[in-house]
Chains A and B, each alone.
Chain A
Amino acid sequence: MSPTRRGFLGEMARAAVGVGLVPDPVSAKSPGEGPVRHKWGMVIDLDRCTGCQACAVACRAENNIPVAGLVDTEKGRGIFWMNLLTTSEGTYPDLRQQFLPAPCNHCEDPPCTKVCPVGATSQSEEGIVQQIPDRCIGCRLCEVSCPYTRRYFNWTEPDWPEELREQLNPDVSVRPHGVIEKCLFCHHRIRSVKERVRAEGRTLTDADVRRLPACAESCPAEAIVFGDLNDPRSEVSQLAESPRAFRLLEELGTHPKVIYLREAKWRE
């Protein structure tokens, strides 16, 4: 019931408009004097996932993603930073269906950042593929260069009925019409937890970030784990070594930092 720091951070974010422009209080330090640099990654356990799509709704709520509505949905213009992709094969009753919760892969070698003519997208020092809406000119080169189709173009002016604006997250700015937007690993939450940890005079632990992004926080099956791939003891690092682990389209050499786990072989 007490005021928290997040409100203040919300004001900061609102003032700065593009979340990518806010200096990061920890990683801005030069290596050596500050803590070890993080490399954020996510593990999604498909054997735990039940396809409920809580992650997708949590993401839309947290990141102020507008509802597409009938017309734009039918044109395939719905925006889902966290999507749920479905594949079906076979004929009744010999059927297989796969569900894939699909955020941005935050590739270590991302094709999308290289094609941006205006420097609107880049990789942060902590490995997050970030997007600055104010710089974006809407050319969509990054969208077509992403082999995973995880970049979304804002086809219409974001809009909400007046009453539904009440529910908008004060920590995240709304992207205008005509720019690309994408999953940012909830990095406003990362910044916020770093602030909190610093205020408490301690260092960031795995438990602080394990379920930090809105998708991971919401997952009833605890199928989504977030953490630091640079920390060999983190849960994500350990799960990434699992014999069940794989990355999407590994042969492309993009080195995704979203790692999936599955007992059966994944069929793309």
Chain B
Amino acid sequence: MAASGAAAVAACRKYTGPAPVAAVPMGWHRGEERAIATTCGQCPAGCGVTVRVHEGRAVKITGTRDHPINGGGLGPKGQAGLQLLYHPDRIRGPLRRAGPRGSGRWTSITWDEAIGALAGALSHLRARGDSHALVVVDGEPRGPVPRLWERFLTAYGSPNHVSHASATDAGHLLAVGFMQGVEAPPGYDWANTEYVLGFGASLFESSCQTIHMARATSAMRRGQPGKRVKFVHVSPRFSVTAAKADEWVRIQPATYGALALGIAHVLVRDALYDAEFVRERTFGFDQWRDERGRTHRGFRDLVLNDYPPEKVAGITGVPAATIERLAREMSTNRPAIALAEGTGTAATNGLGTAMAIHALNGLVGSIEKRGGILARRSVLSSWSPAEPDAVARRGLAAEPIDGRGTVACPLGAGAIQALPEAILTGRPYPVQALILYRSNPVFSKPEGTRWAQAIQKVPLVVSCSPLPDESTLWADLVLPDHTYLERWEIVEPAASSGRPVVGLRQPVVPPRHDTMATGDLVIRLARALGPGVADAFPWSDYRQATTELLTSNATTKTGLADRLQQTGVWSGDQAFERWDEAFSTPSGKFEFYSQAIASRLAAHFPTERALDEHLAGRGVLTRGDDLCLPHWEPAQLAGDPRQYPFVLDPYRGNNYAEGGFRHLPWLRELPASGLLAWSETVEINPGDAQRLGVHEGDSIWIESPAGERRVRVRVRVGAAAGTIGLPLGNGPWPPTPLDAGTAGHGLMVALGDPLAGILAHHATRVRVRKEA
């Protein structure tokens, strides 16, 4: 026998697994299987999933056949939902802190006690006129629960419904909002487009559209004989998306806006744009005169004078010839899509950049066209509005703590990164209670150590997390949510291809632990607060509240409910050229010159001088009309370049969404993550690694003005020299409250777009310290 002795002995060891055959739960027969259609909740994309349940155990998640978003396939994140459902670290039920904060000592309490305790504290706050001092940080981008929190705060009397938007997709959303007057992310008609130009959008790794995009790209390339759609990806880092694109255009960080305007220059100079669309459907292309007789600059003038390709080449590092060619390709291969999704625009020049990219869609006439960009059509209706009482009205009038609608963030929807400062300084007022829903800011937001300090300063901290994350460890009260596989709700996913989609989420197994859907928690909490707040919540439970969004819509009622029951999804048809839905701007057109920006600035700054002084104080270089037009200026970076010679380049890998999945082993251990899959790593260019004297797998310290973190080195040819690539969501699991370093995204400095609040991912200088 050729067998080696040691291995043969190893093979003879007693085989003990798998577990003995489990008892069959009530309501199930031995060998019985069910396939339950529901909607994935691992990221906001809203893929349809069918869960194979065997004798009461969920054993496999697959994509739902013919689903409008994922069409039967399912990405790695969706499949790993099983490891969330059966995660051994899940919080078993409501907890009250029993030791000092962060001690990890808890007492189990009942839901009645938990809701009673929270309602007591909130009721006390409200009675003494401090209702505005309640802050809810809500990390779910869309859906019925965010609507319920909004309603709760309206009835209770706090303006502080703080979203994660500034840290995720804010630039793109604000650009569409200002240029089209539409509040929701648009859809893209991938199936009929001819050309896609992506500006830093990590389409194949982690975007709102990853799975839909995988399908679409596959169809663009091989779906129709003789047709081959070209996908060009622009980014500094050579990512999976860059490698899989037809062409990768390397660019200097945070200069996407200049490139887009350079391309616009060529389109306008050579009359390659869609003249009919620009004439009929846009505003502010040429200079115009307002009602007071003042002349304003037009987009044409701006791009022709300020962004000639040679100048843009100097800013971006993209050769002028490439800029000319991209413009020609975009014009020739219509309909074409310019993409600003994701964190590509996340820099202090974010709003102008996102507008510059979206302006290309207007120039080539892709708005509302087949193969272009389609405004989102909502199917779900709204509840009748909540009526705040006198106490609530007083509370709602307070200044929002995230700067929304104030001079601190005049063009944005609030900046979550402003919270630690506000809490620690107690300005504009001390925060008395903080509720965290789908949010772990100590880990997933910049300056994590400051977040930890800020949380400890708040008298009452409540977490709804189903897992003991970094922020939950500091909480006073833990009210664990169901996972999405245990919950009943109606969801409306992101727009994907522009088809309206409604998804059903239903429990595939009964709740594993003594948890509660946060939707039910909000309703029960409101009821416990008594009249005034309770009146806004007439529903018996969350299921009834969310069903009402569906059934009160008379036009779709019948077909929708039936179809949802069977397949977990209902979808409508794409619609094109619905101009009244696509443009809710003051002009009713696509606005190159956003009049909404002009009026918002005018509302906050009575004189031009006041505005200019504010801009100068914030380090903004742009002035006048250009603030309302797509524009570019250099991004601000935190840290002295002599002390911090590298620039941090945070990126989303394909195991990232919504704060990351480091707690799910299947996603941690993806094969392409290699030998360092379980370590916190950064990517360094081979030349830089050689100069620093560090090698693959070495431990080093990354230091930024916000803190330091011990990480391991991946030497990668795809990292640009002078940058340190930081995969978002990287971190230890399980977390410890006394982790000395800055876990997760805490190395980043909390800089944002000074007017719009968009969190700047590309804003932090760092240095490398070798381990002693």
Contacts and interface: CB of A to CB of B under 8 A. Distances in A.
Interface of A: 1-4, 6-8, 10-11, 14, 45, 47-54, 56-58, 60-62, 64, 67-70, 73-76, 78, 80, 83-86, 88-93, 95-99, 115, 117-118, 136-141, 153, 157-170, 173-174, 176-179, 211, 214, 217-223
B672 A51 contact: yes
B60 interface: yes
B643 to A, nearest CB: 25
Given A167-B83, A176-B17, A222-B218, A53 B72 contact: no
A70 B59 CA distance: 25
A93 B670 contact: no
B718 A88 contact: yes
Interface of B: 1-4, 7-8, 10-13, 15-19, 21-22, 29-36, 54-55, 57-63, 70-76, 79-80, 82-83, 85-88, 204-205, 210-215, 217-218, 221-222, 238, 240, 243-244, 248, 250, 512, 654, 665-667, 669-672, 675-679, 685-686, 716-721
Contacts of A88: 716-718
A58 B60 CA distance: 9
A238 to B, nearest CB: 13
B758 to A, nearest CB: 27
A174 B17 contact: yes
Given A50-B240, A93-B238, 7 more contacts: A48-B217, A52-B211, A58-B79, A74-B676, A139-B1, A160-B17, A179-B11
A93 B60 CA distance: 41
Contacts of A176: 11, 13, 15, 17
A49 B222 CA distance: 11
22 contacts: A4-B33, A14-B21, A50-B218, A51-B204, A53-B672, A74-B675, A80-B671, A84-B672, A86-B672, A92-B718, A95-B248, A137-B1, A138-B7, A139-B3, A160-B17, A166-B58, A167-B83, A218-B62, A218-B74, A220-B73, A220-B215, A222-B218
A95 B205 CA distance: 19
A73 B678 CA distance: 8
| A-B pairs with lowest CB-CB distance, top 8 | A7-B31, A220-B73, A139-B3, A138-B11, A178-B10, A178-B11, A176-B15, A97-B243
Contacts of A52: 75-76, 204-205, 210-211, 214, 654
Contacts of A1: 34-36
Contact of A7 (B7, B54, B217, B654): B54
A62 B54 CA distance: 13
A6 B54 CA distance: 9
A48 B33 contact: no
Contacts of A73: 669, 675, 677-678
B79 A178 contact: no
Given A92-B719, A220-B215, A222-B215, A60 B63 contact: no
A47 B17 contact: no
A2 B3 CA distance: 48
Contact of B18 (A11, A75, A153, A168): A168
B565 to A, nearest CB: 11
Contact of B59 (A2, A51, A167): A167
A62 B61 CA distance: 10
